[in-house]
Amino acid sequence: MTMMTSRSPWLPYPRREGRPGARLFCLPHAGAGASTFRQWVRMTGTAEVEVRPIQPPGRETRRADAHYGEIAALIPDLAEALLPELDVPYAIFGNSVGAVLAFELARLLENGAQRAPSRLIVAASASPRHAGTLLPSIDRLSDGELVELLARRFQGIPAVLLDSPQLLAEFTPVMRRDLEAVQRYRPPELPALSCPVTAFVGEDDAVPLAFVDEWRAVTTGSFELFPVPGGHFAPLGHGHRVIDLMLRMAEL
């Protein structure tokens, strides 16, 4: 499989040569980066589906880039970076906090891009109306309190970080800014989309299932809800189901 060099900091993984049947753009959870989806990239070695993980500023390969601060400030720049990639049917996937970014990206592209998204896929996330309400005010929590809360409620801090004070000190400020941005976010009037929406959620997730089910209100298109075994990050282990959706798109 031949790879092409990526020219955008938003898309750090190389692009394959050739024209895939569909592309999947993936937005990670709070504090995380594009490497969250490296297994999904490896899973799709065929030409039918190409996974394109997105790298928000302030982390991993973009550690030196300023954090966007507000969701509204990030989405137009990201959409512009993706325009050259929208030459085939595509879907947008967002995990946890990344689901809100994915929703706003889909909304902008549906209204302004030459090719609208074929599907929005969200995971481990309450609907936009509730996305900022599941945690107490982040600016009132110390770093230690924030880490303890997320580790206890969502198992949201990897053990490799908890065991390394240096890595945790680098990760926590980015995670905090991501969560603060979502708490400041105000969703648009609904429905805001017409494309189909699919939601995945762990059966043991602390996010209430009723809040996940409310994603159906964001679109006039179809809606599917898929509970999967496990907790908050369980959907990331079910990438094959997301890829199956993409393969169906590629056959259209």
- Is 137 among the catalytic positions? no
CB 192 within 8 A of CB 167: no
Count the Cβ atoms, other than its own, within 10 Å of residue 143. 13
Compare 249 and 120 and report the one with higher pLDDT. 120
Q: What's the whole-model pTM score?
A: 0.93
Q: SS3 for 120? A: strand
Overall number of domains in the chain = 1
Asked whether residue 182 carries a pLDDT value surpassing 90, the answer given is: yes
CB 134 within 8 A of CB 206: yes
- Is 29 among the catalytic positions? no
Active site residue: 29, 96, 118, 125, which one?
96
Q: What does DSSP say about strands 49-53 and 22-27: parallel, antiparallel, or unpaired? A: parallel
Q: What is the CATH number of the domain that holds 7?
A: 3.40.50.1820
Q: In whole numbers, what is the pLDDT of the chain averaged over residues?
A: 91
Average pLDDT of the residues in 79-89: 94
Distance CA 235, CA 215 (A): 16
Name, in order, each residue with C-beta under 8 angstroms of 33's C-beta and a sequence gap of 6 or more.
55, 56, 59, 60, 61, 62
Asked whether residue 250 carries a pLDDT value surpassing 80, the answer given is: no
Distance CA 222, CA 31 (A): 31
Instruction: Give 170's strand partners.
Output: none
**Would you place residue 156 in the very low, low, confident or very high pLDDT band (cuts 50, 70, 90)?**
confident
Domain span including residue 163: 3-250
Count the Cβ atoms, other than its own, within 10 Å of residue 209. 15
Range with the largest mean pLDDT of 1-5, 66-70, 114-118: 66-70
Compare 3 and 140 and report the one with higher pLDDT. 140
Active site residue: 29, 67, 127, 232, which one?
232
Nearest Cα to Cα of residue 13 among 27, 29, 34, 44: 34
